[in-house]
Amino acid sequence: MSKRLYVGNLPFSANDTSLREVFAQHGEVVSANVITDRETGRSRGFGFVEMADASAADAAIEALNGSDMDGRPLKVNEAHERRPRDGGR
């Protein structure tokens, strides 16, 4: 069963490919997405990685949380489902 991970404190140079490469060292990556600003297209400093199986995802969390990527310590943990928004009105 696949597992989705949150990756924070990404360097602004990070893209989907570089994120996938970092996590592929720990198992099969189903998807890797760096979240970008809609207007500028620039990275917002976080992303999500889906690993093919939970044990590979746990190994990636253990190995990569706090590790360095282009001078920034990554924050890696299990992603939580987004809470529904109330629209702010």
Q: Residue 72: which CATH number?
A: 3.30.70.330
What does pTM read for this prediction? 0.89
Task: Quote the number of domains for the chain.
Answer: 1
At residue 81, the pLDDT reads 81
At residue 36, the pLDDT reads 95
In-domain check, residue 64: yes
Q: 47 vs 4, 28, 40, 42, 86, CA distance in Å?
A: 10, 17, 16, 12, 23
d(CA 58, CA 85): 29
* Domain with 58 in it: 3-78
List the chain pLDDT tens, one digit each, 89 residues: 899 999 999 999 999 999 999 999 999 999 999 999 999 988 999 999 999 999 999 999 999 999 999 999 999 999 988 777 776 65
d(CA 72, CA 89): 37
In-domain check, residue 84: no
d(CA 45, CA 84): 22
